[in-house]
Structure 1
Amino acid sequence: MEVKGMQTVVIVGAGPRGTSVMERLLAQHAQDSAAQPLHIHLIDPFPPGAGHVWRTEQSRLYLMNTQSFFPTLVPDQGVAVPPLAGCSFNEWRMAQQTDPWEQLSDDDRSELATLQTTNFPSRPLYGRYLSWCFEQFQHVMPDGVSLTIHATEAKRVAREHEKGGFVVELLDGPKLHADQVVLALGHVESKLSPVQRELRVQARAAGLTYLPPAVPNDVDWEQIPAGEPVLVRGMGLNFFDVLGQLTEGRGGAFEPTGHEAGEALRYVPSGREPVIVGASRRGTPYRAKAEVERYYPESVVLRFLGEDAVAAIRAMGATAGFRHDIWPLLHRDTLWAYYTTLVRTRPEVVSEQFLPELDAVLHSGFNGDGALWEQRLKELLAAHVPPAHLLELQGLARPLSKHVPRPGETHRFATREELDSAVLAYLSQDAAGSARGEDDPTKMAIGALNAGRAIIKSLVADKGITPDSWMGELRGWFEGFVEGLASGPPALRVEQLAAMVRAGVVHFAGPDPRFRIEQGVFTVSSPWVADEPWAARYLVEALAPANDVQRSESLLLQNLFADGLARPSVMLASDGQTVVTSGLDVSAPPYRTLDGAGVPVAGLYVLGLQLSSVQWGTAIAAEAAAKYRSGYRTVCDADAIAAAILN
């Protein structure tokens, strides 16, 4: 394939990120009639397009965390050269109704027959879309461009001193010459944390089953027997994947009850379910997404933390502190979203006369009198809003905190049953709020937080936040806070969970859980619950593998570090201590790795999860018709890499 004068590019990773780089290379090469011949090597043990996470044979119970209208592989803005082929997922979904792709499975066709714009697709169906895109790209390969697919892994990228460029070693032996290399590795295996390693060692010694963090489709769920308790640590998105496989995946079914949201489903067990006990720091699962027509609710307008505010900060040549400069703006936007929705939907509770006064208070306090505006806000709310309808942001993140111990007791819950009832009430209320969509004040406050997160992502990528604030404030507290509120599952999943709790299939351990191995079994207890700890022979970590390059099991990353072609990023904390971050140390876009001396490695590019040291939220797909810049940053990054390679 390769001839003299041909440029050779190796893309390591053929999932969405690697495929996006390939698409940008094809589009840009086609526009340049003088471009030299180009050969692309694509390396991935999994099929191109779908890659590892979006494999098309996985269970339909695994849902995407965004609706049909959201994801796209190809750019629709932010780039100068339009795509040669492909479209957004939603455009593809609609096209399949009249002109179905011959490679669709029967399950694909069944799902597509009922899937709507605002529904959440299954992961295998999204994988099918990615596979289709890859096929379309192959059909429009420009003259002078060729492609070789290697269904294996790369184990080393090293400098090729004689020819220049790099030599890429594959696991199965061959070596490839490359003028440039793109690392689009996606999710890779990770070493366990010290606590997890110790727990695994103790579990093996006691004959217990410990399932460490993993991509859910990589786990054999049949090893957890029916009827036995299983402890599930973590109640984020992976928690719902675990639930699905251990319940509906074993023949359980949901039936409509005819009641309103929050109590709309009944779970009918199959008898093959284990007894599932969920545990997390909050004590409750992530909040469900609101049922809305757009990713960012139309009624939510960022009046304080908009793109213009970020541009003003950058124009001053300044870097912002999150708590000092950013959070006060986003806090105001969140308050406005909540109370304007409350006034609109509950006029008997708060009159419209309240809003002009609130607006005035929110626009005050920008001249060093922050404490004064907060006091004015407190007085205004006390005068106009009944206590039951006040927005308590911290309470949203810790919903069980409103439960107080009875007189003379130190625990908030006397029994497991009391705790389960409290969590069930939270789940039912949350599902009902999601069903109200733009008419729910709490969900609109969360919508403002999510929109603000999009703005903050751009600020982070533009190096507009101080390293100390990035580590200690944004990632130190806000990231966990907003994830549990705005990154939750589809409302259907919370409705289903509530049904499982009512059926006695799922229970909860309580906030701040303590896991141990005692008397030959796993136990979990909570300082909030007076009852005996839960005990089980099985423990599942409902987490994805850590996205941390230092803990990575990737032989390729380990060799890059050993060969001095890459290093982890290090930041300086306010106390002068250095902190090693989770991502690679890279140059400004297009992101090149920095070698051991801190010099950018010409021709070695990074895209995706390993950019977590310079970007926030690297896992989410590119957004079709994105409202904010951060929504299409990933395709812009791919576009910049392609331009650097070809120019």
Structure 2
Amino acid sequence: MHTGRNQLVAVVGAGPRGTSVTERLISQWDALPDGQRRPLEIHLIDPEPPGPGHVWRPDQSRLFLMNTPSLFPSVVPVGRAADGLAPSVVDRSFNDWRTEMTATPAPSLSAGDLEELARLGGSDFPSRALYGRYLQWTYQRLVAHCRDGITVTHHATDALKLARASSGYRVALADGTALIADAVVLALGHLPAQLNPEQDALRDGAARYSLNYWPPAVPADIDWTRIPARKPVLIRGLGLNFFDVMIQLSEGRGGHFAPDETGRLQYHPTGREPLLIAASRRGVPYRAKAQLDSYLPRSVSLRHCTVPALRSFAGQGIRPGFDHDIWPLLHRDVLGTYYATMARVAGAGPADPDAFLIRLHAALDVPGPGWATALEELLAEEMPAAPRLDVEGLARPFAGRRFADAQEYQEAVLPFLDADVDESVRGEDSPLKMAIGAMNAGRTVIKTVVADGGLTDQAWMSELRGWFEPLVEGLASGPPAVRIAQLAALARAGVVRFVGPNPQFTIDAGTGRFVASSPWVDGEEATASHLVDAMMPPNRAVDSLSPLLRQLLEDGLVRAKVMMAEDGAPVTSAGLDVTLPPYRAIDGAGREQPDLYVIGLQLASVQWGTAIAAEAHAPADAGGRTLRDADGIAAAILTSGR
């Protein structure tokens, strides 16, 4: 039985976040008692296909990999993520879908999908194209499930303008049509952005001297055939996008990797590769993920950086800082995991590992700053020859070292890459990778507790986002180990060279070429006529080039969140200003906007790690947080005006 007039919901953005909101709307509507369901119209607005959206298009190169294994992501609540939520009408995580499609392939799967599925396991890293196929399948199943009283319509165009109407909102579309919506959800995802001053200078200089500059972009959007063979190309950034550039310009050009007699990968070129000259602040790439059969290491158990411990600050009326209150707890767990793993691995630790572990926990439990002294005293007695772990120093492996020339630096980076691969292969037996695993586990805990004002503004900006975020991303958000092994092979084959830490990128007016140099590497500078900024456009609302978001900001329907720096100066932060969940937008005058909701990347000022997918089977208030956000928005919409 249907009651009341139709309720129309506009979801702007049909990628993973928009798909999650759509799924929650359908699943919650489906679970309503008879007689309480209003006819519901869901309108998804996105020029890209619903489900995968822009970033996860199934037609992109299969060389572009996810940086999480198959067992991790989900776009719908499954397992513990579904506790307390309406059951999903499409109850499949990516790994569930992978298993099902391997056994009973859907007709929509391509030959490439079937080939990848045949070799893909739960611990393997899927292509972004295959994950996009899962998202597409999920959306199609959602639409197919809809029964009488609920419809889903996709508008393959952009939303250009949003304005208050007499009842709800008027959404003007690029195809000339308009919708009058009772509620609007902004699930905008990755958006093009203005270049920063340094990038602006590189772009302008490229135009002046007829050079080729590729600004930050989604890798699948770039025409890689424009980069010539055998010519030097400067690559700025050694993060995740770098590996997409690297593999597209090597294996994507017909080259192949094969193990030598020692098992180390060798690269066999075709001659169509450019010379990639890469640089980043660290001077080295993100570290590889450990090879595990789970997302977080099974041997890692946090004892200090726990949800109850971090929430105890609020219970005491304290709004914590990061450096003073949270980092010391996580630091204990990271070091504890490192030395406990070392003690567990045969031949690497003390004579009596069990007794050492008891003493280790006792040292780390010492209150205040005294724990560090107690730990060092224990190590001096029990493990005097063991290498000490400088956690923050992991981000600067060559700190303070000078190199005579680029070749000396190249010869220093190669052993670093080889060692990183070896540590990844050791998996649970690697003290270093388990310490990084503890940091990653702590990141999930911290994300849960610091959301929605759980951290001081100054700590959020200069501590959590200022130094810890780059550290943990460089250590825990890296590629699968095979990408580091391939990078080492490319470096040995002369296809990749490294500039050095803290690089500077300029244009030499005399030669009319891009120049890259490192203050720590002497000798000849690297020059090229081509430069690629290997990074995504920055997620910063006020710098967005999205016509819709710019209009919303200019009209004052939304505003960026302003935080207070340590000196009391206001600072415009990256994300939009919103209420507490379900995250209604706040306008330029500080007023809550009824029935206008925000989810995903534009929540960057109230949530940390908004780009990370929901973790399958994780609790809804932890790794499944984005699914809880979608659930809260759907519940608010369906109960509005009831």
State the TM-score, normalized to the length of structure 2: 0.96
Q: Work out whether 1:398 is the aligned partner of 2:396.
A: yes
The equivalent of 2:140 in structure 1 is 135
Contact 1:341 1:439 in 2 (8 A): yes
Q: Is the 8 A contact 1:26 1:142 kept in 2?
A: no
Q: Which of 449, 453, 456 is the matching residue for 1:466?
A: 456
Percent identical: 53
2:173 counterpart of 1:183: no
What is the aligned partner in structure 1 of residue 328 from structure 2? 328
Offset of residue 395 of structure 1 = 2.6
Q: Tell me the equivalent position of 1:269.
A: 269
Aligned to 1:153: 158
Hey, what's the Cα distance between the residues in 2 that align with 1:543 and 1:629? 30
SS in 1 for 2:42: strand
Q: 1:57 aligns with which of 59, 62, 87?
A: 59
Residue of structure 2 in register with 1:615 after alignment: 607
Please say if residues 3 and 38 of structure 2, whose CA atoms lie closer than 8 Å, have aligned partners that are also in contact: no
Please give the secondary structure, in 2, of the residue aligned with 1:389: coil
What does 1:625-644 align with in structure 2 at a 5 Å threshold? 625-626=617-618, 629-644=621-636
List aligned pairs for 1:26-45, cutoff 5 A.
26-32=26-32, 33=34, 34-45=36-47
Separation in 2 of the partners of 1:40 and 1:375?
A: 60
Change (3 A) 1:562 1:6: same
Q: 1:225 to 1:3 in 2, by over 3 A?
A: farther
Pairwise mapping of residues 422-501 of structure 1 onto structure 2 (< 5 A)? 422-501=412-491
Which whole-Å CA distance do the structure 2 matches of 1:449 and 1:156 have between them? 42
1:230 and 1:536 in contact (8 A); partners too: yes
Which amino acid counterpart does residue 187 of structure 2 have in structure 1?
A
One-letter identity of the residue aligned with 1:576: G
C-alpha separation in 1, matches of 2:346 and 2:237: 36
What is the alpha-carbon distance in structure 1 between the residues aligned to residue 460 and residue 121 of structure 2?
38
2:239 equivalent in structure 1: 236
Residue 342 of structure 2 contacts residue 348 of structure 2 at CA under 8 Å; is this kept in 1? no
Q: Does 1:95 align with 2:95?
A: no
Distance 1:46 1:462 in 2: 31
Q: Kindly provide the CA deviation profile for residues 572-626 of structure 1, in whole angstroms up to 9, marking residues without a partner as x.
A: 1121100100000001000011011111100000010000000000011111111
Question: 2:176 pairs with 173, 176, 181, which one?
Answer: 173
TM-score scaled by length of structure 1: 0.95
Q: Which residue of 1 aligns with 2:344?
A: 344
Shift of the 281–551 alpha-carbon distance from structure 1 to 2, 3 Å rule, reads: same
How far apart, in 1, do the equivalents of 2:364 and 2:90 lie? Answer: 47
What corresponds to 1:123 in structure 2?
A: 128
CA contact under 8 A between 1:86 and 1:133: conserved in structure 2? no
CA contact (8 A) 1:79 1:639 kept: no
CA contact (8 A) 1:13 1:185 kept: yes
Q: Partner of 2:38: helix, strand, or coil?
A: coil
3-state SS of the aligned residue for 1:449? Answer: helix
Give the C-alpha shift of residue 379 in structure 1: 3.0
* SS of match in other structure, 2:623: helix
Query: Following TM superposition, by how much is the alpha carbon of 1:307 offset from its aligned partner in structure 2, in angstroms?
Result: 1.8
Q: Over the residues paired in the alignment, what is the CA RMSD in angstroms?
A: 1.5
Asked if structure 1 preserves the Cα contact closer than 8 Å seen for 2:58 and 2:132, the reply is yes
Counterpart secondary structure, 1:192: coil
1:234-313 equivalence runs, <5 A: 234-260=237-263, 264-313=264-313
CA contact (8 A) 2:621 2:628 kept: no
Unaligned ranges ≥5, structure 1: 405-411
- Between stretches 77-86 and 328-337, larger displacement belongs to 77-86
Range that drifts further, 378-387 or 595-604: 378-387
Q: Which residue number corresponds to residue 504 of structure 2?
A: 514
Answer yes or no: is the 8 Å Cα contact 1:313–1:464 preserved in 2.
Answer: no
Give the direction of change, closer, same or farther, for the CA distance of 1:203–1:386 in structure 2 (3 Å limit): farther
Shift of 1:465: 1.2
Inter-partner Cα distance in structure 1 for 2:489 and 2:440: 28
Three-state SS of the structure 2 residue aligned to 1:535 is strand
Shift of 1:361: 1.4
What's the secondary structure of 1:300's corresponding residue?
coil
3-state SS in 2 of match to 1:24: helix
Mapped pair 1:83 → 2:88: yes
* Contact 2:452-2:580 within 8 A present in 1 as well: no
Distance 1:118 1:312, change over 3 A: same
Partner AA of 1:453 in structure 2: R
Match status 1:544 vs 2:547: no
Contact 1:454–1:630 (CA under 8 A) maintained in structure 2: yes
Deviation at 1:143, TM superposition (A): 2.4
Letter of the structure 2 residue corresponding to residue 15 of structure 1: G
Q: What SS does structure 1 have at the residue aligned with 2:288?
A: coil
Q: Which amino acid aligns with 2:267?
A: Y
Between the aligned partners of 1:600 and 1:158, the Cα distance in structure 2 is 15
What residue number does 1:207 align with? 210
The aligned residue for residue 408 of structure 1 is none
1:450 partner amino acid? N
Structure 2 stretches lacking a partner, 5+ long: none
How far did residue 514 of structure 1 move?
A: 1.1
Contact persistence 1:302–1:452 (CA under 8 A): yes
Summarize deviations over 1:455-481 as a string: whole Å, max 9, x none. 110112142211111111111111111
Q: CA contact under 8 A between 2:289 and 2:481: conserved in structure 1?
A: yes
Q: Which amino acid aligns with 1:190?
A: A
Contact 2:4 2:38 in 1 (8 A): no
> Which SS does the other structure have where 1:399 is aligned?
coil
For residues 158-192 of structure 1, the C-alpha deviation after alignment (integer angstroms, 9 at most, x for no partner) is: 0013xx10000001111110000000011111010
How far apart, in 2, do the equivalents of 1:151 and 1:259 lie?
52
TM superposition shift of 1:108: 0.3
Where 1:116 maps in the other structure, the secondary structure is coil
Output the amino acid matched with 2:583.
Y
Q: Would the aligned equivalents of 1:332 and 1:362 in 2 still touch at CA under 8 Å?
A: yes
Instruction: Return the alpha-carbon distance in structure 1 between the equivalents of residues 85 and 621 of structure 2.
Output: 15
Number of equivalences: 629
After TM superposition, the runs of 4+ consecutive aligned structure 1 residues lying more than 4 A away are: none
Residues 4 and 39 in structure 2, CA contact (< 8 A), matched pair in contact too: no
After superposition, the C-alpha distances for 1:387-427 in whole angstroms (9 at most, x for unaligned) are 552112133111122x74xxxxxxx1112111111111100
User: Would you say the 8 A contact 1:330–1:449 is kept in 2?
Assistant: yes
Secondary structure, counterpart of 1:546 in structure 2: coil
8 Å CA contact retained: 1:86, 1:137: no
**Mean Cα displacement is larger for which, 25-34 or 447-456?**
25-34
Asked if 1:577 is matched to 2:577, the reply is no
**2:241 counterpart letter in structure 1:** N
Q: Does residue 67 of the first structure (1) align with residue 75 of the second (2)?
A: no
Following superposition, the deviation at residue 503 of structure 1 comes to 0.7
Counterpart of 1:398 in structure 2: which amino acid? Answer: R
1:527 equivalent among 512, 516, 519:
519
